Structure 1
Amino acid sequence: MPLHFHQPAGSLGSSGPAGLSPVRYRLLAVRDSASMLLEKILKSLTNAGKNALLGFAVIASPCAMAQDSGWYVGGNVGESHARIDDARITGGLQGAGFGTTSISDDRNEFGFKVFGGYQFNRYFALEGGYFNMGKFSFKANTVPAGTLDGSLKLQGGDVDAIGLLPITKQFSLFGRVGLTYADATDSFNGTGAVHPLDPSPSKREFNYKLGLGAQYQITPSLALRAEVERYRIDDAVGNKGDIDLVSVGLLYRFGQKAQTIAAPAPEPVGPVAEAPESVVETPPPPPQQLTFSADSLFDFGQATIKPAGREALDRFAAQLRGNSFDTVRVTGHTDRIGSHAYNLDLSQRRAEAVKAELVESSGIPASKIEARGVDGADPVTTPGACPGNRATPKLIACLQPDRRVEVEVVATRP
């Protein structure tokens, strides 16, 4: 006599004692560690594909470094994985009066996601997007003669908070925690003596997700990602389980520019030449001034010189060695964002940092280098060119010329 279940013949978990509840299947967490999962997806790439990616990264930019904030979009593809609980399926059939002769499972599927986000600084970003995990299924053959087919399709949207840990200029690790809204669609089909009453239940539910990954900056605009994510899922009858997605993908940042020093290193302050035999002395050369973009020397709101800024100052200091000076004046400028007291302190600390670097690199006595901060009292931008007072990315970018460090050299003789 055919058996009609009062619940869909399949679910994500168990809601009663094993062997007494209706036929179920359950998607459980993959037990592999994150490192094993990342190794698995990388091994799935062909040798030719890996060589092409590595070659492109080397050719494109060996020293690529993206700006710390801005909008981006991207996409990942990979393998989604679920563990189907065959023992629970067998127990459910047995409790309903059926023997199980064989079970076949489809645990691995093609999964993908597309996303967009905004990175606020080098350590934090918000991201949202769409994901599709594919379709997982099983087929059980029974005695009395019949079959039970069950499947689950999963797709939805998510919003994630992302924490980044820079390791080098190009390479960083990141973790994510987020909220998902998933559409889980179950499908059950019986033949012979097996007849589920509800063949197509579905459910939409909020849940959480977690993830870990690594990112390599190929160019300032383009990055390569590899990551593993765990999605917590509710099925159509209120049971829970996990699905993992292991994927690789590309990320594109908008509005990126190569980070360079605003002004080139100047020529030597004074010409190095033999003094003429005339009794007329050569007058001292006029003061020379060089302006460095503060964004090229410091991170926004910081007074610690970045490696790229230190290299530029060292090149400048090399031009000064061997010459005699009355004074070297270092003046730090900020933009108008923030309070007067904060900007005055920041501009002073930046000027002192540049002075310390010049003393160390050029050998000029510290007593001959003056360092002072002047707040944002002497802007380069014209009034009305950058409207607004809130520190938005647009206003910060517009006021970039105002954030600078000026170095004026007054020489006595070459």
Structure 2
Amino acid sequence: MNTTRNSVALGCLALAGLASPAASAQDSGWYAGGGIGRATSSIDDERIRAGLANQGLATSGMAHDERDVAYRLFGGYQFNRHFGMEAGWFDLGRFGFTADTAPPGRLTGDVRMRGFNLDLVGTLPLTERFALLGRAGVVHAQTRGSFGATGAVSNPYGATSTSERDVGFKLGAGFAWQMSPAWQLRAEAERYRIDDTVGNKGNVDVVSLSVVYRFGASAAPPPRAAAAPAPAPVIAASPAPAPAPVSVPPALPPADPVAPPSAPARVRFSADALFDFDRSTLRPEGQRQLDAFAQQLRGVRHDGVQVIGHTDRIGSKAYNLRLSQQRAAAVQTHLGQAGVAVAGMSSRGAGEEQPVTIPGDCKGNQPTAALVKCLQPDRRVEVEVTGTR
């Protein structure tokens, strides 16, 4: 059989140029997964007909079995947000044909393909949870063939059973959806280039769905109640001292009270209480906390309101800066909708540059549950208010 025709056009999507910032959940660590899909090969009719013609036979009919269910199991290591190495086992299923001849005879054949692969996997994040995948790798496949001939047909392959071990290559592309910090769903199309046991190199195309589990990545810790917002600063004016009594002229009236310059008050909210893990959309509980804070600010004349987003150090600096900016902007927008005067209100992201935790307290670089919990104070949004009541 020759599998040179193909049903799925593939490319190795951008294994170079995957260094743009943004999005999936975990930078590094071990993972494992499994997938199921459909494998498609193509039977080389012309080659089979030519072989039968060499025996003086005309092909009167041809039936194909060119599709089967494919399975794979794999494990790998993610070096950083963009590159990983993956090893796996695959079963591409069974493909076959039946050729009838005149004078009456029949030639049958089927081939089963299994093996192991080693791939370099590239990831191009597009959003916080969605990413493109590209892969290129080598395969070591074992292909077993079974052939039969009846009637006027002689077996052109010289044996009823064949076995071939061969090294080939594969390319693939697809999408990944981060369902949670630990679980990922992948949809991929791959092409395997391997031997079919009778001396022909050919293609087998596979479209599959896979589920991936990342070790050491747990769900985000339960949100801790944010510290109660500090009351809005109320600065009372101190009455001017009474003038010293004199006989002439009459005592001057007290001066009008003057408010001293207002000192900024800073309120800190836990990002885990405001947002889901790795997201910048406010949770209902987070909205309620901000609504309560906006209620406390009513009646305060704002000289300025600044919202500052902070992240922990897990992940790249560029990604953390972007996430902190998005979260600060979300808080600013909600406070404006809750009635806080928009004039004089601004937001910015500080990323991971201003941690609350002390270096050395939270050890390690892998996003384990223990490290995520230890760095929780660093994930925060601060609102700085300057004003008088």
Q: TM-score range by the shorter chain?
A: 0.5 to 0.7
For 1:150, the equivalent position in structure 2 comes to 109
Letter in 1 for 2:166: E
Share of identical aligned residues, percent?
35
Structure label with greater radius of gyration:
2
Cα shift at 1:89: 0.5
More helix as a share of residues: 1
Is 1:231 matched up with 2:192?
Answer: yes
What is the aligned counterpart of 1:380 among 333, 348, 357?
A: 357
* 3-state DSSP of counterpart to 2:115: strand
For 1:106, the equivalent position in structure 2 comes to 65
What is the aligned counterpart of 1:256 among 209, 218, 224?
A: 218
Is 1:205 matched up with 2:180?
Answer: no
Q: Check the 8 A contact 1:265/1:315 in 2, yes or no.
A: no
Cα shift at 1:374: 11
Cα shift at 1:114: 2.2
Q: Check the 8 A contact 2:303/2:344 in 1, yes or no.
A: no
Q: How many residues align?
A: 336
Runs of at least 5 residues in structure 1 that lack an aligned partner in the other structure: 1-24, 35-64, 276-282, 301-305
Distance 1:412 1:215 in 2: 47
What is the aligned counterpart of 2:268 among 290, 302, 312?
A: 290
Distance 2:348 2:123 in 1: 38
Q: Deviations over 1:217-252 (max 9, x none)?
A: 455544444332211112334421001112234334
Is 1:194 matched up with 2:154?
Answer: yes
For 2:375, the equivalent position in structure 1 comes to 400
Cα shift at 1:173: 3.8
Cα shift at 1:121: 5.4
Q: Check the 8 A contact 2:105/2:149 in 1, yes or no.
A: yes
What is the aligned counterpart of 2:121 among 158, 162, 165?
A: 162
For 2:4, the equivalent position in structure 1 comes to 28
* 3-state DSSP of counterpart to 1:90: helix
For 1:54, the equivalent position in structure 2 comes to none
Q: Check the 8 A contact 1:328/1:370 in 2, yes or no.
A: no
Distance 1:373 1:32 in 2: 42
Letter in 2 for 1:100: T
Specify whether residues 290 and 100 from structure 1 end up closer, same or farther in structure 2 by C-alpha distance, changes over 3 A only. Answer: same
Is 1:68 matched up with 2:26?
Answer: yes
Q: Deviations over 1:151-180 (max 9, x none)?
A: 211011223333344455554443332222
Q: How does 1:3-402 map to 2 (within 5 A)?
A: 25-32=1-8, 67-69=25-27, 70-119=29-78, 123-143=82-102, 145-192=104-151, 193-195=153-155, 196-254=157-215, 255-258=217-220, 264=226, 266-267=228-229, 269-270=231-232, 289-290=267-268, 292=270, 307-308=280-281, 315=290, 318=294, 320=297, 322-324=299-301, 380=357, 383=360, 386-387=362-363, 391-393=365-367, 397=372, 400-401=375-376
Q: Check the 8 A contact 1:381/1:402 in 2, yes or no.
A: no
Q: Check the 8 A contact 1:137/1:152 in 2, yes or no.
A: yes
Cα shift at 1:92: 1.6
Runs of at least 5 residues in structure 2 that lack an aligned partner in the other structure: 11-22, 238-259
Q: Check the 8 A contact 2:38/2:69 in 1, yes or no.
A: yes
Segment of structure 1 superposing worse, 156-165 or 81-90: 156-165
Distance 2:135 2:351 in 1: 40
